[in-house]
Structure 1
Amino acid sequence: MSSSTSIQPKKRKINFSNIILGAGINMAEVTTLGQPLEVIKTTMAANRNLNFLNSIKYVWSRGGISGFYQGLIPWAWIEASTKGAVLLFVSAETEYRLKLLGAGNFTSGIIGGISGGVIQSYLTMGFCTCMKTVEITRKKSAAIPGTIQQSSWTVFKGIYGKEGLRGIYKGVNAVSIRQMTNWGSRFGFSRLVEDGIKKLTGKTSPDDKLNAWEKIGATAIGGGLSAWNQPIEVIRVEMQSKKEDPNRPKNLTVSKTFKYILQTNGIKGLYRGITPRIGLGIWQTVFMVGFGDMAKEFVAKLTNETPISSH
């Protein structure tokens, strides 16, 4: 008697090591190239008259090398230590559950990334993303003689005292749209490229793994392609920006901001900052998807467990 059975991932307990792993990887990503690319990208999105080179000069004028790390401490570190954990944990668990239901690599990757992106936006990223943007776009007074530069915490308290949680979480819906499309694209495209690499290299068994360079290459392509949603990022920055603009409408919503940018800067304005965004997308995805998968494999060997959504 013969029977055919589909290969399914083995049922396993929730691996909480993914929480610590995700936080550590994301901290490394943001402290290296992540924050400088974030600062340049945000500067271009908020000052849509600046090109890439002019943005670098502008950022340098705000503190030299330290200007490229505006908002890193504490906001980017708080965000990285929490959002990385949420992303890796939620996306991995979602991918695993979907595969139990028979979903393919590409589908489970997209939905896993979307799930992780949405959850991290509302749980951890709202106020951190807002405060990073405030730091990058607010007027710096340190260079003016006789003035004292306000600290990040002072600015945070001022926004909270004036606007409450609504002010601290300004633009969170745009952040959520960005994150779900970001990580849905990054995981999905990365998994799709992985499948293509496996076919090209003759890795036909589900147990066949990509080597380190193949994994990095796949995730770099996935990260770069995810920049298609740059208009959402420009909208998010405009909603959270502290740049003085008397023409900006009050009580901005996603739709109001979209119309305002379109009216003032045209279609091109919605894509300002896409060059550093592509670089950031590649850098983040290589860390969170590529290194994340490799790190999960390494931890699994140490703990003698099967990693979640291992590819």
Structure 2
Amino acid sequence: MSKKEKPIHSLIAGTTAGAVEAFITYPTEYVKTRSQFSGKRESPLAIIKSTLQQKGVAGLYSGCMALVIGNAVKAGVRFVSYDHFKHALADAEGKVSPPRSLLAGLGAGMTEAVFAVTPSETIKTKLIDDAKSPNPRFRGLIHGTTCIVREEGLRGIYRGLFPVMMRQGANSAVRFTTYTTLKQFVQGQGRSSQQLSSPMTFGIGAVAGLVTVYTTMPLDVIKTRMQSLEARQAYKNAFHCAYRIYTEEGLRRFWTGTTPRLARLVLSGGIVFTVYENIIRVIGGRAA
């Protein structure tokens, strides 16, 4: 039976990996989110150009702290819960089949959506939506969060919970299943103790990110729309949002923002798994 990862090790490694990944890749998240708002379609390059002209480099980091903090908590929750579910679903030899890895990832994604992702993503999305106006209302993370809670209550930062749960469940299910399957394939049957190099871990994580993007993009677009400043007036619920996007803007709109999200998740998949595996190794957890 394989050794179950200590929760404190998973938490430390996961939160660190999540914070590092979020800060490095944030500009791609900013561009992706901006491109998914309703209204005039803008290419990633056009968004970058206009933001740099109007706000400077700092503009590409609007809402960054909300995501860094949320991503750190999210990654910690994700790895702790995934290790828990994976251990519970492992066979007598400690191996996890792809279907069981999918189930473990789904559980991890649902857990992180409730405890970390929805509040941080909602705040981040509203901050980015506000920052694109000529006269932004919010003066930063704390002020923006305070205003949102005061005006909309706690429901304001949990807006879009259902599409976030669907997206995170799908994200984690696809990403962990792809990563675990490729990792077990590379290590070879019966040699689970073989350590992978950091470049190999990065490559496997990047492939997992690539697969995740194309399979979950529609859920990401719906999530962004449901968390925008105009969501309360524009959409009754996630299904109404999806219906309006499809009938008014067409099927292709569900894949808006694919390029910047692809850049982020390919990088993030590599960064997160590489940082996580190396920290686990350093602090005395299982071998990668």
**Same fold, judged at TM 0.5 (above):** yes
Check the 8 A contact 1:222/1:282 in 2, yes or no. yes
Residue of structure 1 in register with 2:77 after alignment: 86
Q: 1:96 to 1:287 in 2, by over 3 A?
A: farther
Query: What secondary structure does 1:241 align onto?
Result: coil
Are positions 1:172 and 2:161 aligned together?
Answer: yes
Check the 8 A contact 1:138/1:241 in 2, yes or no. no
Greater percentage in helix? 2
Q: 1:249 to 1:258 in 2, by over 3 A?
A: farther
Are positions 1:59 and 2:51 aligned together?
Answer: yes
Question: For 1:204 and 1:220, how far apart are their aligned partners in 2?
Answer: 25
Equivalent of 2:276 in 292, 297, 305: 292
Question: For 2:104 and 2:209, how far apart are their aligned partners in 1?
Answer: 15
Question: For 2:86 and 2:194, how far apart are their aligned partners in 1?
Answer: 18
Equivalent of 2:139 in 113, 136, 151: 151
Residue of structure 2 in register with 1:14 after alignment: 6
> TM-score, normalising length from structure 2?
0.88
Check the 8 A contact 1:40/1:59 in 2, yes or no. no
Deviation at 1:295, TM superposition (A): 2.2
Deviation at 1:107, TM superposition (A): 3.5
Paired letter, 2:262? I
Alignment of 1:1-311 (within 5 A): 8-10=1-3, 14-33=6-25, 35-47=26-38, 49-73=41-65, 75-100=66-91, 104-138=96-130, 140=132, 149-152=137-140, 153-199=142-188, 205-227=191-213, 228-242=215-229, 250-300=234-284, 306-307=285-286, 311=288
Query: What secondary structure does 1:167 align onto?
Result: helix
Q: 1:251 to 1:191 in 2, by over 3 A?
A: same
Paired letter, 1:9? S
Residue of structure 2 in register with 1:303 after alignment: none
Q: 1:64 to 1:81 in 2, by over 3 A?
A: same
Check the 8 A contact 2:104/2:173 in 1, yes or no. yes
Q: 1:281 to 1:55 in 2, by over 3 A?
A: same
Question: For 1:104 and 1:21, how far apart are their aligned partners in 2?
Answer: 21
Query: What secondary structure does 1:208 align onto?
Result: coil
Check the 8 A contact 1:187/1:289 in 2, yes or no. no
Question: For 1:251 and 1:124, how far apart are their aligned partners in 2?
Answer: 23
CA RMSD, 1 decimal: 2.4
Question: For 1:192 and 1:275, how far apart are their aligned partners in 2?
Answer: 25
Larger radius of gyration between Structure 1 and Structure 2? 1
**1:188-238 deviation digits (Å, cap 9, x = unpaired):** 111222233345xxx752322322222211111011110121010000111
* Residue segments in structure 1 that go unaligned for 5+ positions in a row: 1-7, 301-305
Check the 8 A contact 1:62/1:140 in 2, yes or no. no
Check the 8 A contact 1:94/1:108 in 2, yes or no. no
Paired letter, 1:237? T
In the comparison of the two structures, how many residue pairs are matched? 284
Question: For 1:93 and 1:261, how far apart are their aligned partners in 2?
Answer: 37
Question: For 2:266 and 2:237, how far apart are their aligned partners in 1?
Answer: 29
